[in-house]
Amino acid sequence: MTLDSQIVQESEAAEVEILNVHQALEELAQHDPRLAQVVEMRYFGGMSEAEIADALGVAARTVRRDWDKARLLLAQWLA
């Protein structure tokens, strides 16, 4: 295998993984929109639980539960 073909295969695998994550997030949003918001704010936005709680108007404890539930659902859909 040449270096060029290895790079192409790795790039294609990364693209597939990104698309799978995107699809899983869309499914999560259909299942529970707030869970998807929590994932986006925390993972992609880098926001803390307190910041997310303030933005969504819920308790930090609720955000923590939502984060745990969202991670479990995403792990199931991505497996």
We report the CATH number of the domain holding residue 46 as 1.10.10.10
- Counting every residue written for the chain, the total comes to 79
Domain count, the chain: 1
Q: Which domain holds residue 38?
A: 3-78
Q: How many helices (H) and strands (E) does the chain have?
A: 4, 0
**pTM exceeding the 0.85 threshold for the entire prediction:** no
User: What pLDDT digit, counting tens, does each position of 5-27 carry?
Assistant: 666 566 677 788 889 989 999 99
Query: How far is 44 from 58, CA to CA, in rounded Å?
Result: 20
**Alpha carbons 48 and 77: distance in angstroms, whole number:** 25
User: Alpha-carbon distance 20 to 2, whole Å?
Assistant: 27
Average pLDDT over residues 53-74: 97
